[in-house]
Amino acid sequence: MSSQRSTSSNKITDDKLNALILRLQTLLPQLDQSRHGRVSAAKVLNEICSYIRRLQNEVDGLSGRLSQCLDSMDLTGFDAEIVRDLLQQ
């Protein structure tokens, strides 16, 4: 029956969706699975949206900070050294 067919294809999609939502949940320390167990997909997406907004605001703020101290940046001679130092921390 066509309904059976649609149910089985929905099941695959549902499992896939659940896996994707679960992966997003692991990105959120505040929804750590060991403490919260099963959280609704809506809540996960909600928290994800807040998280993305927070990160974008941080980029904003850091751009502002960098615009202030751009003058004092000596980026020329020691480029490679700086990059290495930064990445090693």
Partner 1 sequence: MNNPHHLNPTSLKSRFTTRFLRALTKIRAQKPISSSSPTEIFRRYRRIKVAADKSMAYSVRSRRIWSRAMLWKLRSRSYRRQDPCSGRRFGKTNQAIMKKSSNENTTTRREDGVGFVEEADELRQLVPGGETMNLCNLLDETAHYIKCLTTQVQVMKKIADFYSF
| 71 lies in the binding site for partner 1 (CB under 8 A) | yes
Closest approach, Cβ 35 to partner 1, in A, equals 21
- Helices 2-26 and 41-69: angle between axes, nearest 10 degrees: 40
Closest approach, Cβ 15 to partner 1, in A, equals 11
| 86 lies in the binding site for partner 1 (CB under 8 A) | yes
Q: Residue 87 carries which side chain, given as an amino acid letter? A: L
Distance CA 18, CA 68 (A): 44
Site string for partner 1, 22-41 (x = CB under 8 A): -xx--x------------xx
40 phi, psi to nearest 5 deg: -65, 150
Alpha helices (runs of H) in the chain, residue ranges in sequence order: 2-26, 33-36, 41-69, 79-88
Residues engaged in binding partner 1 (CB under 8 A): 13-14, 16-17, 20-21, 23-24, 27, 40-42, 45-46, 48-49, 51-53, 55-56, 58-60, 62-73, 75-76, 79, 82-83, 85-89
